Every structure is written in C-alpha cells, then in structure tokens.
Amino acid sequence: MLKSLSILLELAKQKGKCRVAVAAAADKHVLDALMMAKNEGFAEPILIGEKEAIKKIAQELSFDLSTIEIIDIADPFLASVEAVSLIRNKKADILMKGLVGTGPMLKAVLDKENGLRKGAVLSHVALFETQFYHKLLGVTDAAMNVAPEFDDKVSLVKNAIEVFHKLGMKEPKVAVIGAVETVNPKMEATVHAAMLTQMNRRKQIKGCIIDGPLALDNAVSAESAQHKGIVSDVAGDVDLIITPDINSGNVLYKAMNFLGGATTAAVIMGARVPIVLTSRADSERSKLMSIALAAAIS
C-alpha cells in the first residue's frame, strides 16, 4: 500500500541522480522545482533554452547553476527537439516541460522518426495524498485526452497501472467511474466501464483488479458501497480512478487540490520516458513530488 508521497522521494533517491532534460527552461516555477529536486539529491537538470534568461531567473531564485549544463537554444520547439534527442541518445532519463506550449512539446515527443513514441496514447496520471483517504489515490486522465474512445481508455488504464507497478504495487485496484453505478446504454461511460471490467476478468487487461461502473462515492467509500448493496473488491479501497473524460478528470483533480487540500504528483505516460508538466498553480511540494515520481519510475 502506498500511503504517502514521501515514498516517491525515497524511491527516487535510491535510484541515484536522475538526469532531467528541461525543454525551454527559462521558467521560474520550473527552475524552482528543479532547484528543490537537486537540493534533495535525486535530480541533475540539463537546461535547454535561452541561456541568459535562464541565468537571470536562477539568480532571482539563488539557484547555483555552476555545475549544471545549459544548452543555449532560444526557440521553444527546437529546445523541445533537443531535449527529446538527449533522451534518445541516453544522455537524459526524463523529460520536463518548461516555457513551451503543450502542442510543440508533443510534436517533438511524437515525431515518428526522432521522437519518444512508445504506445498509441499519451495520458496524464496523478497521485493524490489527502487526509480524507487512507492511501495514495491515482486519477487519470485530467489533462491530455479530451473525450477518449473505448480503445483509448484501455491505453489509459495500462499507462496508469504501469506507474503503480513501477512503484512496487503488483495489483492496483481500479475503479472506472461515472454518474451512476449501474450500466445504462444511454450513458456511454457506464458501458465503457462494464467493458473494461469484463476485459479484466477475462485477463485481457492484466496486472490490476478493475470494477465499474462505480460512482465516485462508492469507489472511495466502503460504507457507501455497502448502503447501495455493492459487492466489490475495489469499492472503498480503490488505488486508481479512471474518469470518463477530461472535464470530469480535471474537475476532480482541482477539487481535490483546492477544496480537499491534497498534494499531487503527476506525470505524462505513454512515451519512452515519463514527462513532467508542473503547473503554476501547483504547490511547491507538488512540483517537487512530480519530479520525484518521474525519477522513481524512470
């Protein structure tokens, strides 16, 4: 059982220093997160971007760059291409997004000849630590896939359970959620949930226990499931929640952070290496933990 995000720091440190290729690194909140990770002893940044701008921000943060490699490329897309190239050439271990749009960054990542494409779908996987739940709670997808088709949801599940496996959990419990816990042909999310559950039972999706459709309350509360007569190995003890679409995923993500006081660690999965995208709205601890998560599973 993964109870705290602190385990990510321990796992990252056990692996030694992880080389972080940062595309368009002239970004204050990104450099701040990297400084924390470097000070913790598990990250070695490689900064790609406008050199003078990077140095100016680092000076404001009191971030010592004397031992850090800086590659001077002002164009954000070309900086992304260079960061991807470092990983392809085994000169870096994980990729981090700086001051570059998601589109140009993904264009470099998904380039058929020179990118980091591994599977068909990239997806966002977040881990939450909250006082209102007894262990870490995973959520996918809150940032990448707008309205995933059924095949996409299979990939979302596989990308997310890969995170849990790499953190040492052999069989995470997965709840595919919707507005209700019964199958309704008029509600596609419930049909997708039932199909994913059946695929898991028939060993078409392995390495986890899937149940759905479940409403959010009976996914996280055994008492709620019991009141509704739901018998489930997942209900009340879920490790990973699969949301129907980006709207529900993003609302859940932000509600847990801003109303529930949760701390988050998040990565993009589905490429050859984990990708870190920290948000300006993330807490300092969340930024640090996102890099630690990527380092722990790289």
Structural element, H or E, at residue 22:
strand 18-23
Going by pLDDT thresholds of 50, 70 and 90, the confidence category of residue 182 is very high
Residue 164, pLDDT above cutoff 90: yes
Identity of the amino acid at 49: G
Residues of the chain above pLDDT 70, percent: 100
Please give the Cα distance from 63 to 22 (Å, whole number): 15
* Two structure tokens written together for 5: 């995000």
Q: For position 283, what pLDDT does the model report?
A: 81
Q: For position 67, what pLDDT does the model report?
A: 94
Say which range, 66-75, 110-119, 176-185, 286-295, has the weakest mean pLDDT: 110-119
The answer to whether the peptide bond before residue 213 is cis (omega within 30 degrees of 0) is yes
What is the rounded average pLDDT for all residues in the chain?
95
Beta bridge pairs of residue 264: 128
Phi, psi (5° rounding) for residue 171? -145, 75
Query: For the sheet containing 18-23, what is the strand order?
Result: 69-72, 43-49, 18-23, 94-97, 275-276, 263-269, 123-129, 137-140, 240-242, 173-178, 209-215
Q: For position 284, what pLDDT does the model report?
A: 83
Beta bridge pairs of residue 276: 96
Residue 87, pLDDT above cutoff 80: yes
Per the rule left: phi > 0, alpha: psi between -120 and 50, beta: everything else, 125 is: beta
Q: For position 1, what pLDDT does the model report?
A: 81
Q: For position 118, what pLDDT does the model report?
A: 87
Tens-place pLDDT, residues 44-77: 999 999 999 999 999 999 999 999 999 999 999 9
In terms of C-beta density within 10 A (0-12 exposed, 13-18 middle, 19 or more buried), how is residue 13 classed? middle
Contact 48, 79 (CB under 8 A): yes
Going by pLDDT thresholds of 50, 70 and 90, the confidence category of residue 247 is very high
**Higher per-residue pLDDT: 120 or 189:** 189
Residue 232, pLDDT above cutoff 90: yes
Contact 37, 63 (CB under 8 A): no
Tens-place pLDDT, residues 124-157: 999 999 999 999 999 999 999 999 999 999 999 9
Tens-place pLDDT, residues 26-50: 999 999 999 999 999 999 999 999 9
Going by pLDDT thresholds of 50, 70 and 90, the confidence category of residue 102 is confident
Please give the Cα distance from 10 to 80 (Å, whole number): 29
Q: For position 257, what pLDDT does the model report?
A: 93
Q: For position 119, what pLDDT does the model report?
A: 76
Residue 12, pLDDT above cutoff 90: yes
Residue 205, pLDDT above cutoff 80: yes
Mapping DSSP to helix (H, G, I), strand (E, B) and coil, where does residue 202 land? coil
Going by pLDDT thresholds of 50, 70 and 90, the confidence category of residue 218 is very high
